[in-house]
A and B are shown apart, each in its own frame.
Chain A
Amino acid sequence: MQLKKYPYKNNIKKVVEKYISLKDMQSLLKPKGILISATKRVDIANLTKDYYLSQNDFQELKQLLDSPNNFKKIGRIILPANESEDFKESLSGLNGRVLDPTDNTKINIGIVDDNKMTVYLQYEEQRPGLVELLETKKKNIVIDIENSEELCNVNYSISSASDYKKVKELLNYIQQDSSFTFKELLLSDLKTENRTELFTNFFVFFFDEWKITKITQIKKKKDTSYTSEELSVSVSESEDLAMQTENQLMQEVILDGINSALLSGENLIENSFINKVLTQGFYFSMSFIRFENKNNSDFLDFVIEFKTRPERLETKIIESGEFVTDENQDIVEIKRIFSEEKQNQIIYEFNDILGEIFMGFSQPQSIEVSTQ
C-alpha cells in the first residue's frame, strides 16, 4: 500500500538509519545518480534525508524496511484459463464499488494488461486497542491475476487471518452473477501418502535459479481417517514379525496421543524417525526450506504451509539476504529484504511447481465460496 502522507525528514532519517541495510539504501539511490560510499547507516541516513522523493520512490524505500510486514505471504486460487476473461470482466465491473459498508470493503482495479490484472481489496478491521477502546486498522489485499496456458492464477497477499475470508467474500460476490470454477490446493483432496509426496517431490525438484540446501522445520499431522488395520494388513503381507512389533511399538507407545508435531533441525528429510512416522498415517503439512541462488550469493527461507480448516496452501518468504565475506574472511549471512516484485516472482514460480505436483496427484474439488 502506497504512502498517502509525505514523511517527515527526521522520520526518513530514522528509518534509513534503523531499518534499512546500508547496501539496500546504496542500491536504491544508485539509479537516481547518487552514489554513496559509507560504512555506517547513520552516515547514509544523514545524507538521504535531504532528498525530496516521489511517492513511488518511497514505495521502493518502504519495501526495503526490515519489517515482517515486508515479507510476502501468498495464497492462491485457480480457475480454468478459458474462464479468466469473464472473471476479469466481472472484477472490472466492480471497480470502485463498496462491497460491504459495515467494514468499508472496497475494490479498486490497478494495473491491467493482456495477461495480468492487479486488484486492490481494501477493508477496515476493528480490534481492541491500547490507546483507544476499539482501534480501526485499514487493511489492503493485493490480488494478482495472471494467465498461464491452462490456468488463471489468482494470487492474493495475506497479512492477517481475515484476508482469506475477504478474498472468499469477493469471489462469492462475483459468483452471484456468473458461475466460475474456482479451485484451490487443499490437502484433503490428496491421499495421505500423496500429501507427503507433494513436499518430497518439491524438495527434489530441479529449480532453474535456486537450489534447496536444507529443510529446517517440518510439521507432521495425523490423518484422522487413518486406521491401524490398514497398517496391520500391509505389514503382515510384507514385513516380518520383528518389523511388525517395531511398528506397533511406534504406534502404541511413541506416537500415542500425538495428532501433530513440529520438528526442527538439519536434514530432517533423511531423519529415520520422520520416515518411520510417515508409515503410521502421518503426513507433512508444513515445511521451512532454505534456498540458495545458483548464480549469486542470495538466499531465502521459504515456507510451505497448509492451514487448517480447510488445509489450503499458503506460501511465504520469512527470511532473505545474501552471503558476504566479513573482515575475518568468514562467510556470514546479511539480512536483506528482496523487492516486492522479486518476492512475488519467486513465490509465484514455487507455487506453480507445487501446483503442477499437486495436479499430478489429484484434480482438486471446486472450493465453496460461502463466507461461513
Chain B
Amino acid sequence: MSEEQQYQGDRWTIQSKSILEGLGWMQKGDSNFDIQCKKKTKHGISENRNRIQPHGIDLLFQYKDPYAKDKKNIIVESKHRKWAGISTSTIQSFVTQVFNTIECSNISQELSNIDCHGVNTGLVMIWCNEPNQFDNEVFNEYLEAINIPSRKNPVIIYIASNYHILRWCSVIDSKNRLLAGNESDFKIYYPSDNFSGGRSTAVREDYATLPVLFSKYIFAKSSRTVVFHGNTQLLNVNHIFYFFEPSHSELLFLYSCLSQIQYEDAHILVFHFYGNVSTYRVEIEDFKKKIKEELKISGSSLEIEIKYMDVFSDIPESYAQQEG
C-alpha cells in the first residue's frame, strides 16, 4: 500500500468516525486496534494455512438497542476505493473480513475488558472516492451477488455506500441547523408497537440505530422556541426525514404509518425531503393539501411544513478533522 493510499485510508476512518458520532454513536476503545484470532483454522487463508495475524478493527461503537434494551456492539470497517476498485468480489472480501472479525469479537477477551460483551453486528463504510462515477444501481447489483455465510447465531452486516453515507451527512447537517436555530432537545424517535401486540414502548434517543439508518424514513422529535407577543412558547415538533421518491401514493402510505404511531400529536409536523424532488412537486403539494383538509375535519391544529435537506456531493471537510 502506497503512502498516499495509507493516508487516504486513515483519513476515511476518521471521517467515518465523525459521521457516526454525528449520528449520536459512542465509540468504544480506540481506532485501529487488533484482537486475537480464536478460530485460526477456520479464518485461515486456505485449508492448509492457519491464520497468523490478529483481526484488525478500524472502529468499535456501542449503543443501547431502544427495543431490545441491551447494548449493541458494532464493528465498523471503513473502506476507501476508486469506482473501478469496487466490485462484487471486493465487497465479498470486505464482508468475509468483517464476518470473521465478528466471530472472534463475539468471544474476545480484549473487547470484554472494555464492556463489549458479544458482537453480532458489523458496518462496512465503503466510500467511492470518485463520487461522480458512483452508480447506486450497479452497486446494488454487486450486493445482490454477495454470498452470506450461514450461521446458527445470527450475524448482520450492513453495507453503507456513498448512497447512504451522503444521506446521513444531510441528516446530521439538518439536525445541526435546527439546533443552531430555534430548536432544541432533538432526539431520534423510536415508535412503539404496543398497539399491534408487540412489547416495545416508544423511546427517544440521541442516536440513530442501524435499522433506522437503513430505513426509508427517520423519525425525530424536537422542541421549537417561538416568541409571540413577548411570550416565549415551546412547540413540539415531529420530524420525518424521507429518503424515497415522494410520489402521492408513497406519501399517503407514509401518512397511514404516521396515524398508526400517533405522530400527529404535536404542534408542527415537518417533512424533510432529500435530493431533487421537483418531479414530485405537484404530488407533494396535493398531499399537503389533503392532509390539511383531513386535519381540519378532525379539528386538529397541527401545522405541516415541507423542508428540503441539503445534498452533499462529497464528505464535508469538517469530518476529516480529528478532535483532541
Contact = CB atoms under 8 A, between A and B. Distances in A.
A and B: partners? yes
Interface of A: 2-6, 8-11, 13, 26-27, 30-39, 43-44, 47, 49-57
B143 interface: yes
Nearest to B255: A6
B154 A4 contact: no
B148 A4 contact: no
A11 B67 contact: no
Nearest to B247: A55
A4 B252 contact: yes
Interface string B125-158: 0000000000000001101101011111011111
A27 B144 contact: yes
Most A CB contacts (10 A, CB to CB) among B196, B218, B249, B252 go to B196
B53 interface: no
For the complex of A and B, 7 pairs with smallest distance between CB atoms? A8-B196, A6-B257, A55-B253, A52-B215, A31-B140, A50-B211, A9-B193
B95 interface: yes
Most B CB contacts (10 A, CB to CB) among A30, A35, A47, A57 go to A35
A47 B156 contact: yes
A54 B260 contact: no
B64 interface: no
A33 B160 contact: yes
B150 A53 contact: no
B148 A26 contact: yes
Contacts of B140: 31
A30 B142 CA distance: 9
17 contacts: A6-B256, A8-B193, A8-B197, A8-B198, A9-B200, A31-B143, A34-B159, A35-B146, A35-B157, A36-B148, A39-B150, A39-B151, A39-B152, A50-B212, A52-B212, A54-B250, A56-B250
B274 interface: no
Contacts of B154: 36-38, 43-44, 47
Contacts of A30: 143-144, 146, 148
Contacts of A35: 95, 143, 146, 148, 156-159
Contact of A33 (B67, B143, B196, B254): B143
B214 to A, nearest CB: 6
B63 interface: no
Contacts of B155: 36-38
Given A30-B144, A37-B150, A55-B249, A10 B193 contact: yes
B161 interface: yes
B196 A11 contact: yes
Contacts of A9: 193, 196, 198, 200
Given A33-B214, A35-B159, A49-B193, 20 more contacts: A2-B249, A4-B253, A6-B256, A8-B260, A9-B200, A10-B196, A13-B198, A30-B143, A31-B140, A32-B214, A33-B143, A34-B156, A34-B158, A34-B159, A35-B148, A37-B154, A37-B155, A51-B215, A52-B216, A54-B250
A5 B158 CA distance: 28
A6 B214 contact: no
B288 interface: no
Contacts of A27: 144
A210 to B, nearest CB: 22
Interface of B: 67, 95, 99, 140-141, 143-144, 146, 148-152, 154-161, 164, 193, 195-198, 200, 209, 211-212, 214-219, 244, 249-250, 252-254, 256-257, 260
Given A33-B160, A35-B157, A10 B198 contact: yes
A22 to B, nearest CB: 9
Contacts of A32: 214
A6 B259 CA distance: 9
Contacts of A44: 154
A57 B143 contact: no
A51 B211 contact: yes
B216 A3 contact: no
B163 to A, nearest CB: 8
Contacts of B209: 50
B151 A37 contact: yes
A4 B256 contact: yes
A56 B157 CA distance: 23
Most B CB contacts (10 A, CB to CB) among A10, A39, A55 go to A55
B151 A53 contact: no
A43 B120 CA distance: 12
A57 B244 CA distance: 10
Contacts of A4: 252-253, 256
A192 B155 CA distance: 60
Most B CB contacts (10 A, CB to CB) among A10, A37, A39, A54 go to A37
B149 A37 contact: yes
B102 to A, nearest CB: 9
A27 B215 CA distance: 16
Nearest to A43: B154
A82 to B, nearest CB: 34
Contacts of B257: 6, 52
A183 B164 CA distance: 50
Most B CB contacts (10 A, CB to CB) among A11, A27, A50 go to A50
Contacts of A39: 150-152
Nearest to A42: B154
Contacts of B148: 26, 30, 35-37
Contacts of A43: 154
A38 B217 CA distance: 26
B250 A55 contact: yes
A50 B217 CA distance: 11
Contacts of A3: 253
Contacts of B215: 51-53
A124 B158 CA distance: 43
Contacts of A55: 249-250, 253
Contacts of B156: 34-37, 47
